[in-house]
Structure 1
Amino acid sequence: MHKLSLFLLIYIASFSVVYAQKSALTIRFNQPAARFEESLPLGNGRLGALVYGGTTKERIALNEITLWSGGPQDANRDSAYRYLKPIQQLLLDGKNKEAQALLQKNFVSKDDGSHYGSAANTLYGSYQTAGDLFIQWKDTLGRVSDYKRTLDVEKAVSETQFTRKGVTYNEKVYTDFNADVSRIQFSASRKGRLNFTISLFRKENALVTVQQGYLVMEGQLPAGSGKGMKFITLVKPRVTDGRIRVEGNNLVVENATTCELILNTETNYDPVQAKLTAAAILPACKLKIAKALAKTENRSFAEHVRKYQSLFNRCRLSFNGNSTDENLTTDERLEQYQKGKSDSALPALYFNFGRYLLISSSRPGLMPANLQGLWATEYQTPWNGDYHLNINLQMNYWPAEATNLSSLTQPLFQFTKNLVPNGAKTAKAYYNAGGWVAHVIANPWLYTSPGEGAEWGSTLTGGAWLSTHIWEHYLYTKDINFLKKYYPVLKGSALFLKSVLVEEPKHNWLVVSPSNSPENTYIMPDGFKGQTAMGPTMDMQICRSVFNATAAAAKILNTDADFRNELTGIIPKLAPNQIGTKGDVNEWLEDWKDAEPKHRHVSHLFGLYPYDEITPWDTKELAAAAGVTLNQRGDDGTGWSKAWKINFWARLGDGNHAFLLLKELLKPVHSSVLNMSKGGGTYPNLFCAHPPFQIDGNFGGTAGITEMLLQSHGKNNVIRFLPALPDNKDWQAGSLNGVCARGGFVIDMKWQNGALEKATIVNPVNSSPCFIFLPKGLRILDAKGKVIVNAMNSSGVVKCSMLKNQKYTIG
Structure 2
Amino acid sequence: MTNDNPWKLWYSKPASMWEEALPIGNGRLGGMVFGGTHNERIQLNEDTLWSGIPGDKANLQAFPHLQQARKLVFDGDYSKAEELIENEMAGEDCEAYQPLGDLVIQHHFSDSDYIHQYRRELDLETGISLCEFMAGSTKYKRETFISAPHQVLAVQLQSNGQPLHISAHLDSKLRHGVQECSNKLILRGQSPFSVKVPNEVLYEETAGLQFEIHLQAFPNTGSVTVSNKMLEIKNADSVLLLLTAKTTFKKFDELPEPVLDTVAQQCGQWLCKASILPYENLREQHVKDHSGLFGRVDLHLGDSGRGHLPTDERLSRYKLDKRDSGLEALYFQYGRYLLISSSRKGSQPANLQGIWNPHVQPPWNSDYTTNINVQMNYWPAEVCQLEECHEPLFQMLEELSKTGARTAAVLYGAKGWAVHHNVDLWRMSTPSSGQASWAFWPLGGAWLCSHLWEHYSFNQDVQFLKEKAYPLMKGAAQFCLDWLVEGPEGYLVTNPSTSPENKFVAPDGKPCSISMASTMDMTLIRELFQNCLKASKILGIDESFHSMLEASLKRLYPFKINDKGCLQEWFQDFPEHEPGHRHVSHLYGLYPGNQINLKETPGLAEAARKSLERRLEYGGGHTGWSCAWLINLFARLQDGERAYSFIQTLLARSTHPNLLDDHPPFQIDGNFGGTAGIAEMLVQSHDEGIELLPAMPGSWPEGYVKGLKARGSFLVTIEWTGGQLKEAQISAVKAGWCEVHCGNAVLSIKKNNGMVYDGCQPFYMEKDESVTVTLASLKADYSR
- Class of the TM-score when normalised by the shorter of the 2 chains: over 0.9
Give the partner amino acid of 1:144. Answer: I
SS in 1 for 2:35: coil
> What CA distance in whole angstroms lies between the structure 2 residues aligned with 1:625 and 1:774?
21
2:252 paired with 1:252: no
Given that 2:621 and 2:630 are in contact with CA atoms closer than 8 Å, whether structure 1 keeps it comes out as no
**Equivalence for 1:391:** 372
Given that 1:427 and 1:435 are in contact with CA atoms closer than 8 Å, whether structure 2 keeps it comes out as yes
SS in 1 for 2:149: coil
> What CA distance in whole angstroms lies between the structure 1 residues aligned with 2:255 and 2:638?
46
> What CA distance in whole angstroms lies between the structure 2 residues aligned with 1:212 and 1:448?
46
Equivalent of residue 332 in structure 2, options 334, 341, 351: 351
Equivalent of residue 133 in structure 2, options 154, 159, 162: 162
Given that 1:214 and 1:236 are in contact with CA atoms closer than 8 Å, whether structure 2 keeps it comes out as yes
Where does 1:759-798 land on structure 2 (aligned, <5 Å)?
759-770=728-739, 772-773=741-742, 776-787=745-756, 789-790=757-758, 797-798=760-761
More deviation, 520-529/125-134: 520-529
2:772 paired with 1:809: yes
CA shift at 1:745, angstroms? 1.0
**Equivalence for 1:151:** 122
Given that 1:234 and 1:285 are in contact with CA atoms closer than 8 Å, whether structure 2 keeps it comes out as yes
**Equivalence for 2:642:** 657
More deviation, 354-363/238-247: 238-247
> What CA distance in whole angstroms lies between the structure 2 residues aligned with 1:430 and 1:319?
51
More deviation, 260-269/700-709: 260-269
Equivalent of residue 726 in structure 2, options 744, 757, 774: 757
SS in 2 for 1:208: strand
**Equivalence for 1:73:** 55
> What CA distance in whole angstroms lies between the structure 2 residues aligned with 1:359 and 1:388?
20
**Equivalence for 1:709:** 682
SS in 2 for 1:197: strand
> What CA distance in whole angstroms lies between the structure 2 residues aligned with 1:260 and 1:213?
12
**Equivalence for 1:606:** 588
2:167 paired with 1:184: no
Unaligned runs of 5+ in 2: 195-203, 775-784
Where does 1:549-698 land on structure 2 (aligned, <5 Å)?
549-634=531-616, 636-668=621-653, 681-698=654-671
SS in 1 for 2:245: strand
CA RMSD after TM alignment: 1.7
CA shift at 1:786, angstroms? 2.2
2:213 paired with 1:233: yes
Given that 2:99 and 2:173 are in contact with CA atoms closer than 8 Å, whether structure 1 keeps it comes out as no
SS in 1 for 2:609: helix
Equivalent of residue 29 in structure 2, options 47, 59, 67: 47
Given that 1:27 and 1:150 are in contact with CA atoms closer than 8 Å, whether structure 2 keeps it comes out as yes
SS in 1 for 2:338: helix
**Equivalence for 1:211:** 181
**Equivalence for 2:172:** 202
Unaligned runs of 5+ in 1: 1-14, 115-123, 669-680, 792-796
> What CA distance in whole angstroms lies between the structure 1 residues aligned with 2:361 and 2:216?
29
SS in 2 for 1:567: helix
**Equivalence for 1:381:** 362
Give the partner amino acid of 1:802. Answer: M
> What CA distance in whole angstroms lies between the structure 2 residues aligned with 1:277 and 1:416?
24
SS in 2 for 1:22: coil
> What CA distance in whole angstroms lies between the structure 2 residues aligned with 1:273 and 1:105?
28
Q: Deviations over 1:418-463 (max 9, x none)?
A: 0112111111111101111000001110101111122310011111
CA shift at 1:140, angstroms? 6.0
Give the partner amino acid of 2:772. Answer: T
> What CA distance in whole angstroms lies between the structure 2 residues aligned with 1:96 and 1:140?
72
Could you say if the C-alpha distance between residues 765 and 399 of structure 1 is closer, same or farther in structure 2, counting changes exceeding 3 Å? same
> What CA distance in whole angstroms lies between the structure 1 residues aligned with 2:323 and 2:53?
50
> What CA distance in whole angstroms lies between the structure 2 residues aligned with 1:439 and 1:386?
12
2:2 paired with 1:22: no
> What CA distance in whole angstroms lies between the structure 1 residues aligned with 2:612 and 2:289?
42
SS in 2 for 1:553: helix
| TM-score relative to the length of structure 1 | 0.91
> What CA distance in whole angstroms lies between the structure 2 residues aligned with 1:776 and 1:660?
25
Given that 1:323 and 1:342 are in contact with CA atoms closer than 8 Å, whether structure 2 keeps it comes out as no
> What CA distance in whole angstroms lies between the structure 1 residues aligned with 2:634 and 2:302?
23
> What CA distance in whole angstroms lies between the structure 1 residues aligned with 2:391 and 2:541?
24
Could you say if the C-alpha distance between residues 21 and 664 of structure 1 is closer, same or farther in structure 2, counting changes exceeding 3 Å? farther
2:298 paired with 1:316: yes
**Equivalence for 1:428:** 409
Equivalent of residue 412 in structure 1, options 390, 393, 402: 393
CA shift at 1:70, angstroms? 0.8
CA shift at 1:137, angstroms? 2.1
Give the partner amino acid of 1:213. Answer: N
> What CA distance in whole angstroms lies between the structure 2 residues aligned with 1:616 and 1:772?
14
> What CA distance in whole angstroms lies between the structure 2 residues aligned with 1:385 and 1:771?
41
Given that 1:321 and 1:732 are in contact with CA atoms closer than 8 Å, whether structure 2 keeps it comes out as no
**Equivalence for 1:360:** 341
Q: Deviations over 1:709-739 (max 9, x none)?
A: 110112xx221000000111xx111111111
Could you say if the C-alpha distance between residues 274 and 539 of structure 1 is closer, same or farther in structure 2, counting changes exceeding 3 Å? farther
More deviation, 754-763/273-282: 273-282
Given that 1:26 and 1:152 are in contact with CA atoms closer than 8 Å, whether structure 2 keeps it comes out as yes
In the alignment of these two chains, the number of paired residues is: 756
> What CA distance in whole angstroms lies between the structure 2 residues aligned with 1:270 and 1:756?
52
CA shift at 1:251, angstroms? 0.9
Given that 1:51 and 1:61 are in contact with CA atoms closer than 8 Å, whether structure 2 keeps it comes out as yes
CA shift at 1:578, angstroms? 1.0
Given that 1:768 and 1:804 are in contact with CA atoms closer than 8 Å, whether structure 2 keeps it comes out as no
| TM-score relative to the length of structure 2 | 0.94
2:235 paired with 1:265: no
SS in 2 for 1:280: helix
More deviation, 379-388/337-346: 337-346
Given that 1:66 and 1:271 are in contact with CA atoms closer than 8 Å, whether structure 2 keeps it comes out as no
Could you say if the C-alpha distance between residues 613 and 341 of structure 1 is closer, same or farther in structure 2, counting changes exceeding 3 Å? closer
> What CA distance in whole angstroms lies between the structure 2 residues aligned with 1:74 and 1:529?
32
SS in 1 for 2:433: coil
> What CA distance in whole angstroms lies between the structure 1 residues aligned with 2:322 and 2:466?
51
CA shift at 1:54, angstroms? 1.1
Given that 1:271 and 1:367 are in contact with CA atoms closer than 8 Å, whether structure 2 keeps it comes out as no
SS in 2 for 1:227: coil
Q: Deviations over 1:194-219 (max 9, x none)?
A: 11211100133211121232111011
> What CA distance in whole angstroms lies between the structure 2 residues aligned with 1:136 and 1:771?
58
Q: Deviations over 1:744-782 (max 9, x none)?
A: 111111111111111111222233344545753531111
Given that 2:10 and 2:311 are in contact with CA atoms closer than 8 Å, whether structure 1 keeps it comes out as yes
More deviation, 580-589/263-272: 263-272
**Equivalence for 1:451:** 432
Q: Deviations over 1:42-81 (max 9, x none)?
A: 0011111111011121111111111111111211122422
Could you say if the C-alpha distance between residues 272 and 317 of structure 1 is closer, same or farther in structure 2, counting changes exceeding 3 Å? farther
2:488 paired with 1:499: no
Could you say if the C-alpha distance between residues 89 and 273 of structure 1 is closer, same or farther in structure 2, counting changes exceeding 3 Å? closer
CA shift at 1:344, angstroms? 1.9
SS in 2 for 1:353: helix
